[in-house]
Chains A and B, each alone.
Chain A
Amino acid sequence: MTLLNDAPMAAPAHGLSDEQQALVEMVRDFAQQELEPHAIEWDREKHFPLDVLHAAGELGFGGIYVREDVGGTELTRADTALIFEELAKGDVTIAAYISIHNMVAWMIDTFGDDDQRERWVPRLASMEHLGSYCLTEPDSGSDAGALATRAVRDGDDYILTGVKQFISGAGSTDVYIVMARTGEAGPGGITAFIVPADAPGLSFGPNEVKMGWNAQPTRPVILDGVRVPAADRLGAEGEGFTMAMKALNGGRLNIAACSLGGAQWALDRAVRHISTRRAFGAPLSTQQSLVFTIADMETELQAARLLLRSAAQSIDSGHPDVAAHCAMAKRFATDVAFTAANAALQLHGGYGYLAEYGIEKVVRDLRVHQILEGTNEIMKLIIGRSVLEKVS
């Protein structure tokens, strides 16, 4: 297969600095040694590997773009995209959880006061504590501004009551950022709170039975009169929604990068498979139809990679259209990556459908990336509206 051997522009390593190449190499070694050999078993057993997450924390995975004074590495979002792409090649689900954890650490680092940063972030950055992000509710998903969980001021505390749905890591994590309503209806009445796992009144529903993402728990989080000191309110009242959306800009890029990594892994496997598997007297890779499939997968993944890198630069440089850029990268990367992974399954024939080959797991894991961190329909709303705003 000389077809794929020449590194084209926008190949994973194209244009990377020495440091970026060293970061990628380190993440590749970590993913290949610590994640990939266990990914199929963790999926089957629904095992959330806390020990591996703690080990990842020691290497800096818990505070990738968190500031250095509270234990982060303060890498750029461009670096972060490379890290998540490479990490997801080992296990999409674990990489995606680490993305969510980083959103939580980043929110407290960015919007917290000195006291909050000191108290919460160092142990999140080291992954001694794991984080969960609680925005979605049973009756509000895409319309997050309509959330119903209430936070009522009571002296120096707030009392939180409500239910959060689809919460990644819930029940196994230590720190929950909860968006709750303190004021009027709509996004402007929402405030963010930091809630520790052992807060009285905080409990968790059953671990959901899911199509994929089995190596991380997903549970409802139930807040029944949870008393949160005002010192653990993040930012001012009414700022919660804006903070949550800013965190999601980064989260969307990370999820896009996780999709890209999972799909690239599946593509690499498919290329190897069709180069060695013979049918009708020749390797499958001599069948023009399959060559075309590989070409489409490669082209779309490269395009997604370029869009992702460009959006990451938009966050790094504070571009005014950053939300639309992140939405485009997330929409495009998660769609083409799912399609590519599904094509990789098809190229494997019956073997692609077997758990042992790992391809069907990637397809199942990537499917949810089109739904979470904002559905791809919401991404289109953000993109379309940002284009239309310019003429109105």
Chain B
Amino acid sequence: MRIIVLIKHVPDTWEERVLDPVTGRLDRSASERVVDEITERALEAALALKDRDKSIEVVALTMGPSESTGAIKKALSMGADSGIHLVDDALAGADAMTTAATLAAALRDAGADLIIAGNESTDGRGGVIPAMLAEHLGLPALTFVSELSIDGGRVRGERATETATSVVSAPLPAIVSITEGMPEPRFPSFKGIMGAKKKPVASHPLADLEPALAGSRSSASSVVLTCEQRPGRTGADPIVDEGDAGTKLAGWLIERRLAEQRLV
């Protein structure tokens, strides 16, 4: 069995994330880059299945600039068997449509029995890629699952809704997106780290995907038209507590129509 996990290199969630004001794209040099935690959890889900069945092969797939090999290396050090890196300057600024079409082109002949993704990345936060991939590839999609198992050629998951827990299942091959309800990712071991460089990583430019892309490419794409920096904070308006801070705070909020006054 072959599981392909979609991983993404993103700016560190805990750091300030910056957009380039000219292109409207992410300024990749502005913060440290990490493997998106939700995609680490997706990898953990695959590795947990592999823990129980050693014959399972886990492949980490990412689309991103050349430094995204760092994300693949992390995945390999955690226990993935191999990596696939889709890297091409022409993919810079790709929107969800382009990303889904490109990933689908790479996945079409990759022989995955199961594709596992995070439900949404912490940077783009579109949350649409797993469903788009299912459409491109004609696969059943089990999205937003918080529990996952494979049994007898079927994948089964649990999805929490506002009112109940749905148990969903589909025949393999299938695509699954997972939520933060899935277990935390494992730490790589020292052996995993030292062994990562011996594992194979296939790097594909767009040209490699051309035949498979032709059928799924869309003419529609979204473009950033304008981008403005968030304005800096202006002068604060300190309220000094002289025993009446509550009244002053309420007055401040009412003045700005952030609260309304009701006479009781």
- Minimum CB–CB distance from B90 to chain A (whole Å) comes to 27
Residues of chain A with a CB closer than 8 A to B191's CB:
60, 73
Residues of chain B with a CB closer than 8 A to A23's CB:
190, 193
| CB <8 Å contact, A26 and B188 | yes
Chain A, Cβ-Cβ closest to B197: A19
Interface size class of A (residues with CB under 8 A): 10 to 19
| CB <8 Å contact, B194 and A19 | yes
Assembly CA distance A284 to B188 (angstroms): 40
| CB <8 Å contact, B189 and A22 | no
Once A19-B197, A22-B196 are accepted as A-B contacts, the answer to whether A59 and B73 lie under 8 Å apart by CB is no
Chain B, Cβ-Cβ closest to A20: B193
| CB <8 Å contact, A64 and B190 | yes
| CB <8 Å contact, B189 and A60 | yes
Instruction: For A75, give its contact among B73, B74, B77, B190 (CB under 8 Å).
Output: B190
- Minimum CB–CB distance from B57 to chain A (whole Å) comes to 22
Residues of chain B with a CB closer than 8 A to A64's CB:
190
Once A19-B197, A22-B196 are accepted as A-B contacts, the answer to whether A29 and B74 lie under 8 Å apart by CB is no
Once A22-B73, A22-B74, A22-B77 are accepted as A-B contacts, the answer to whether A73 and B188 lie under 8 Å apart by CB is no
Residues of chain A with a CB closer than 8 A to B73's CB:
18, 22
A351 within 8 A of B: no
- Minimum CB–CB distance from A112 to chain B (whole Å) comes to 21
Assembly CA distance A134 to B187 (angstroms): 32
- Minimum CB–CB distance from B191 to chain A (whole Å) comes to 5
Residues of chain B with a CB closer than 8 A to A204's CB:
none
| CB <8 Å contact, B187 and A30 | yes
Residues of chain B with a CB closer than 8 A to A19's CB:
193-194, 197
A321 within 8 A of B: no
Assembly CA distance A64 to B193 (angstroms): 13
Chain B, Cβ-Cβ closest to A55: B187
| Residues of chain A in range 1-45 having any CB-CB distance to chain B below 8 Å | 18-19, 22-23, 26, 29-30
| CB <8 Å contact, B187 and A75 | no
- Minimum CB–CB distance from A257 to chain B (whole Å) comes to 16
| Residues of chain B in range 189-210 having any CB-CB distance to chain A below 8 Å | 189-191, 193-194, 196-197
A224 within 8 A of B: no
Residues of chain B with a CB closer than 8 A to A58's CB:
189
Residues of chain A with a CB closer than 8 A to B74's CB:
22
Residues of chain A with a CB closer than 8 A to B187's CB:
26, 29-30, 59
Chain A, Cβ-Cβ closest to B78: A26
Assembly CA distance A83 to B187 (angstroms): 14
Residues of chain A with a CB closer than 8 A to B190's CB:
23, 26, 59-61, 64, 73, 75, 83
**Most A CB within 10 A of own CB, among B74, B188, B190, B193:** B190
- Minimum CB–CB distance from B44 to chain A (whole Å) comes to 14
- Residue-by-residue, is B233-255 near A (CB-CB < 8 Å gives 1, otherwise 0)? 00000000000000000000000
Assembly CA distance A356 to B193 (angstroms): 35
**Most A CB within 10 A of own CB, among B187, B191, B194:** B187
Chain A, Cβ-Cβ closest to B193: A22
- Minimum CB–CB distance from B97 to chain A (whole Å) comes to 34
Assembly CA distance A29 to B187 (angstroms): 8
Chain B, Cβ-Cβ closest to A34: B187
- Minimum CB–CB distance from A24 to chain B (whole Å) comes to 10
| Residues of chain B in range 150-190 having any CB-CB distance to chain A below 8 Å | 187-190
| CB <8 Å contact, B189 and A59 | yes
Assembly CA distance A58 to B194 (angstroms): 15
Chain A, Cβ-Cβ closest to B188: A26
Assembly CA distance A29 to B40 (angstroms): 14
| Residues of chain A in range 76-92 having any CB-CB distance to chain B below 8 Å | 83
Residues of chain B with a CB closer than 8 A to A22's CB:
73-74, 77, 188, 193, 196
Assembly CA distance A174 to B174 (angstroms): 48
Assembly CA distance A14 to B71 (angstroms): 21
Assembly CA distance A23 to B193 (angstroms): 7
Assembly CA distance A61 to B191 (angstroms): 10
| Residues of chain B in range 73-118 having any CB-CB distance to chain A below 8 Å | 73-74, 77
- Minimum CB–CB distance from B192 to chain A (whole Å) comes to 8
| Residues of chain A in range 235-263 having any CB-CB distance to chain B below 8 Å | none
| Residues of chain B in range 92-151 having any CB-CB distance to chain A below 8 Å | none
Assembly CA distance A26 to B194 (angstroms): 12
Assembly CA distance A342 to B99 (angstroms): 53
Assembly CA distance A73 to B188 (angstroms): 13
Residues of chain B with a CB closer than 8 A to A59's CB:
187-190
Q: Pick 12 A–B contacts, CB within 8 A, sort by A.
A: A22-B73, A22-B74, A22-B188, A26-B190, A29-B187, A59-B188, A61-B190, A64-B190, A73-B191, A73-B194, A75-B190, A83-B190
Which 9 pairs, one residue from A and one from B, show the smallest C-beta to C-beta distance? A60-B190, A73-B190, A59-B189, A22-B193, A60-B189, A26-B188, A73-B191, A30-B187, A59-B187
Extra inter-chain contacts (15) besides given A22-B196, A26-B188, A58-B189, CB under 8 Å: A19-B193, A19-B194, A22-B74, A23-B190, A26-B77, A26-B190, A59-B187, A59-B188, A59-B190, A60-B191, A61-B190, A73-B189, A73-B194, A75-B190, A75-B194
